[in-house]
A and B are shown apart, each in its own frame.
Chain A
């Protein structure tokens, strides 16, 4: 079991993570830079610190395991915002659901296409598939597909950042002007990070974006493991 040193490492790792998160939170509150969210700050600064001091990831792993425990109940709690926004769905069921569904399909097809084009190995491809859904769900799907959650998280963060930056340009390019359509587009493609942007554009956009990210997540959770199964079969054959 744990000797004294590894116990100290465990606590230090957790404390360091909390410290960096709080610093990130303070910076975010003061400077309001969209993309400088506390968790992006936390991840980037931890990666930089550990690279500079050549700290092996194994040192941090026990702390990671401890914090990861809360990921699963955190997913359960996502029912709450979804429950609050579900009434929004009722008046425009078909446009919203079909929009989200097409987005989920395009997301997975484009990843499969580019993975073949770039000659990524299969496990990387699978890890990239959940890149448009919210992080806690993405980690869970990634695990259930036996992919690599950290690659999934990286892909989710990049997707969120890019989606947020390009949102306004893409929406006007595509002549997507109805508030509901804007919300669906942003929530389905750029999850929580994009939703902050959607909230800036308008109240309806923000609420629909929040609804869409939750529904896109749920659809993906059922659909992606099935797709992963097919992909594994195809890889076995070739």
Chain B
């Protein structure tokens, strides 16, 4: 019962997000607006974490299940990448190396400049 109400609350916040996104013609999808709204509600203390904790954690535990169909849908777009998949793979590999190097280097550099110790 509690779980169902918490789940309902999540759906409600999502729907408000969709409504905001639609009404103001945002490029940001409604689900993301809902996420930012939920973050805002939690951060300001308007909504206590315990009111969505159980349903939220349950959702997060199985969240990767919901991506499966989106991945399988590649079957419908096979011909689009059939000829370029090897280039795509190389591009993705080089890109992830670059992103990791640059983001890590920038943070490392700024921490070194600040000269702070290892506390977090």
Interface residues of A (CB under 8 A from B): 17-18, 20-21, 37-39, 42-43, 46-47, 50-51, 57, 60-61, 63-65, 67-68, 70-83, 86, 88, 91-92, 94-96, 98-100, 102-103, 106-107, 110-111, 114-115, 117-121, 123-124, 128, 131-132, 135-137, 139-141, 143-144, 148-151, 153-155, 157-159, 162-163, 166-167, 170-171, 173-182, 184-186, 188-190, 192, 204, 208, 212, 218, 221-222, 225-226
Instruction: Scan B84-100; emit 1 where CB is below 8 A from any A CB, else 0.
Output: 10011111111111111
Any A CB within 8 A of the CB of B4: no
Residue pair A185, B104 in contact (C-beta under 8 Å): yes
Measured between beta carbons, the chain B residues less than 8 angstroms from A212 are: 103
> CB distance A225 to B65 under 8 Å?
no
Per the bound structure, the CA–CA distance linking A42 and B56 in Å amounts to: 23
Given A74-B66, A170-B100, A178-B118, verify A221-B108 contact (CB < 8 Å): no
Q: B76: CB under 8 A from chain A?
A: yes
Q: Which of A43, A178, A186 contacts B111 (CB 8 A)?
A: A178
* Given A39-B71, A140-B31: A128 touches B13 (CB 8 Å cut-off): no
Return the chain B residue nearest A143 by Cβ: B29
When the two chains form their complex, are residues B96 and A159 in contact, meaning their CB atoms are under 8 A apart?
yes
Q: How large is the interface on B (under 10, 10 to 19, 20 to 34, 35 or more residues)?
A: 35 or more
Are B99 and A189 within 8 A (Cβ)? Answer: yes
**Known contacts A43-B68, A153-B71, A144 near B27 by CB under 8 Å:** yes
With A154-B74, A166-B96, A181-B107 as known contacts, state yes or no: A75 contacts B68, CB within 8 Å. Answer: no
| Residues B71-89 near A (CB distance < 8 A) | 71-77, 80-81, 84, 87-89
